[in-house]
Amino acid sequence: MKTVIVIGGGITGLSTMYELYKWKKANQSDMRLILAEASAELGGKIRTVKNSGFVIEAGADSIVTRKANTMTFIEELGLQSEVVYNATGRSFIYTEGELKQIPTDAVFGIPASVESLAKSTLVSAEGKVEALKDLYTKNETFTKDDSVGAFLEHFLGKELVEKQIAPVLSGVYSGKLSDLTLASTLPYLLEYKDKYGSIIKGLEANKEKFQIGGERKFLSFRSGLDTLVNAFENKLGDVEILKNTKVSEIEKENNRYKVSFANQEVIEADHVVLSIPHTAAGEILNDKEIIGELVKLKSSSLISVYVGFDVPDSLLPTEGTGFITASNNELSCNACTWTSRKWEHTSESKNLLVRLFYKSSHPAFQALQKMNKEEILQAALSDIKKGLGISAEPITSEITNWSDQMPNYRITHSKSVEAIENKLATAYPGIIIAGCSYYGVGIPDCIENGKNTARKIIALL
């Protein structure tokens, strides 16, 4: 009898296990399936908290609809009737003491028409003229391995990138644009540049794909995103789910693996999936060469602060769903989502719920990381007062420090991942890495990666 142990019960581990379990059932296999999770709950970076009438997503808050629609997990898990979509609204950049609208006809802040560029209130006339060079400058040197920042600046100019694109894009991909490749962010921009001669024209021609100004860009579930986690868990039949079970070490013994837990228990397995962050993988694999590759992968930190008030969310200063900040010296946060506006299901009584994001890229972050929760809350209340003009007393807050938990796919990312895969395949056949540290951070990417991971194991059985 073969034993497969999946270490890490986040969405990747769950998806891997679900695929393995389906195969086991369909093939009437006697394979033993074990899912080991260090925390008391499955879900990892998906964690829903219910408090004072609010549905609060401490980690991920939604799924990109476009990606989910190309997959079958929602139907397979029977969740169609639970799906809710974001409200459409304007987004702002907080700059020079005020909220300025991000042009609606834009993708990650990149204008998707010349008109959108012309109408922007975020960029000067000179900056707009500079950006027009995109229409007549050919791409002769850039490839997918170049930085997205250098690519955008070359064709659209420094000012547009700094004031309108970088605040949006570096927020989405958690990193400086100069450190992120086109391949790991927006590879299609290169194709557009080549096919349409212009990034702006390429986006314009493909507007439908990005649902610009369209509704239902993101989805979640009526009772919170953990509905997805619970649905996966409920489908896992006779899988042994070990919670509060941290793996401390993996050792190779003959052609099998001895997996040791923090509680001193040991399980022997034929196949091991490491669907845990790469830092955690480094801690349990006793191999200098692999650790040498794992440390090349980088991640950044983020503190998420929710504040709920006993005031109606109609007190918000304008229509819209939130703002990001452009400069580093006005507010301490990088972004603020007006959660109760953006997600109706999160506030039963339409009371105001906002979420502030504090990222390690911000100069204020170092000080914040040393603060206790009460001090962080005070910093958030100060940002809310400056940014939104609201100074009510909060009735609840939820602060989560995602320290080193946001993967940054740097220019060398794919090479490092390949090196780790190769080293594992040679020295530890049967151990497979999976999850957001390596193969994409979005929930749909993780689910897809889980499927592929299960297929790799099935092929080896």
Query: Can you give the binding site for ligand FAD, defined by CB under 6 A?
Result: 7-13, 36-39, 44-46, 59-63, 246-247, 275-277, 280, 284, 302, 304, 402, 405-406, 435-436, 441-443, 446
Would you say 171 or 387 has its CB closer to ligand FAD? 171
**Token digits of residue 30:** 């006697």
d(CA 254, CA 231): 37
Would you say 8 or 308 has its CB closer to ligand FAD? 8
Tell which residue, 407, 412, 416, 415, has the closest CA to residue 435. 407
Would you say 46 or 152 has its CB closer to ligand FAD? 46
Cβ 357 to ligand FAD, closest distance in Å? 8
Q: Are 332 and 366 in contact (CB under 8 A)?
A: no
| Interstrand relation of 256-261 and 247-253 (parallel, antiparallel or unpaired) | antiparallel
Residue type, 100: K
Cβ 404 to ligand FAD, closest distance in Å? 10
Cβ 267 to ligand FAD, closest distance in Å? 12
Would you say 44 or 127 has its CB closer to ligand FAD? 44
- Rg from Cα positions in the chain: 23
Cβ 365 to ligand FAD, closest distance in Å? 14
d(CA 112, CA 200): 5
Would you say 94 or 343 has its CB closer to ligand FAD? 343
Cβ 184 to ligand FAD, closest distance in Å? 13
49 pairs with which residues across the strands?
A: 56
Widest Cα–Cα separation across the chain: 70
Would you say 36 or 131 has its CB closer to ligand FAD? 36
Residue type, 287: D
Cβ 440 to ligand FAD, closest distance in Å? 8
Tell which residue, 226, 171, 168, 64, has the closest CA to residue 406. 171
d(CA 244, CA 274): 17
Q: Are 5 and 362 in contact (CB under 8 A)?
A: no
Cβ 392 to ligand FAD, closest distance in Å? 25
Cβ 209 to ligand FAD, closest distance in Å? 18
d(CA 152, CA 276): 33
Would you say 306 or 402 has its CB closer to ligand FAD? 402
Would you say 26 or 40 has its CB closer to ligand FAD? 40
Residue whose entry in the numeric block shows the structure tokens 């990034």: 199
Tell which residue, 385, 397, 388, has the closest CA to residue 341. 388
